[in-house]
Chains A and B, each alone.
Chain A
């Protein structure tokens, strides 16, 4: 069993839709939870960061962490074609050594 599970998709939604991306994990020691966006053949860029459980909102993006269920989510509101990318969840015990999910390939259709 992988430490972090993420549905690879692909996921295709119309412009303006709300997108929900999720990851589950098995290591209860994870404390730092992140979402990265990766465009094709580029390095990942950090979108959202959450420490421990709770919600965090930044513009159109909302990250949720439920440690009791070992489940994290990223919501994208009013999705735009420019949001089309691969989204990777990542988590760690000590904020440095990241364990990544497989990534979900998202396409927003105009």
Chain B
């Protein structure tokens, strides 16, 4: 099956610093990638949709200047949490959509803890 990786799998940072999370589709090209956030015992909430070579589309309530998304190639999207604060601590999951069909493939997630 299609494989999506995320790096790092977990990260701890100090308040005020920036953190970059990578999402890669390993064996297919992804026309679209999605970024989700999941708080403990909560559902996945879509943050933004990114298409290769174009600006990301953010969901209502998601600060685009805080969560910078770059979909640089058909196999790589990055999420940068800028000036992170403790309330940004969460589980961030990406998914990749190869185009055609219906299934998007999820990465294993990145746990971010901001101290």
Contact = CB atoms under 8 A, between A and B. Distances in A.
A97 B97 CA distance: 10
Given A96-B97, A97-B49, A42 B104 contact: no
B46 A45 contact: no
B80 to A, nearest CB: 20
Q: What band does the interface of chain B fall in when counting residues whose beta carbon is under 8 Å from A?
A: 20 to 34
Contact of A44 (B41, B44, B111): B44
A96 B104 contact: yes
Interface stretch (A68-76, A77-85, A99-107): A99-107
Interface residues of A, number: 24
Contacts of B109: 41-43
A88 B106 contact: no
A99 B36 CA distance: 11
B34 to A, nearest CB: 8
Contacts of A96: 32, 34, 49, 97, 104
B93 A43 contact: yes
A96 B93 CA distance: 15
A108 interface: no
Interface in B40-54: 41-46, 49
B102 A49 contact: yes
B107 A43 contact: yes
A45 B43 CA distance: 14
Interface of B: 4, 6, 32, 34, 41-46, 49, 91, 93, 95, 97, 101-104, 106-109, 111
Interface of A: 4, 6, 8, 32, 36, 41-46, 49, 51, 88, 95-103, 105
25 contacts: A4-B43, A32-B102, A36-B106, A41-B109, A41-B111, A43-B93, A43-B106, A43-B107, A43-B109, A44-B93, A45-B106, A51-B102, A88-B43, A88-B44, A96-B32, A96-B97, A96-B104, A97-B49, A98-B44, A98-B46, A102-B41, A102-B42, A102-B43, A103-B41, A103-B43
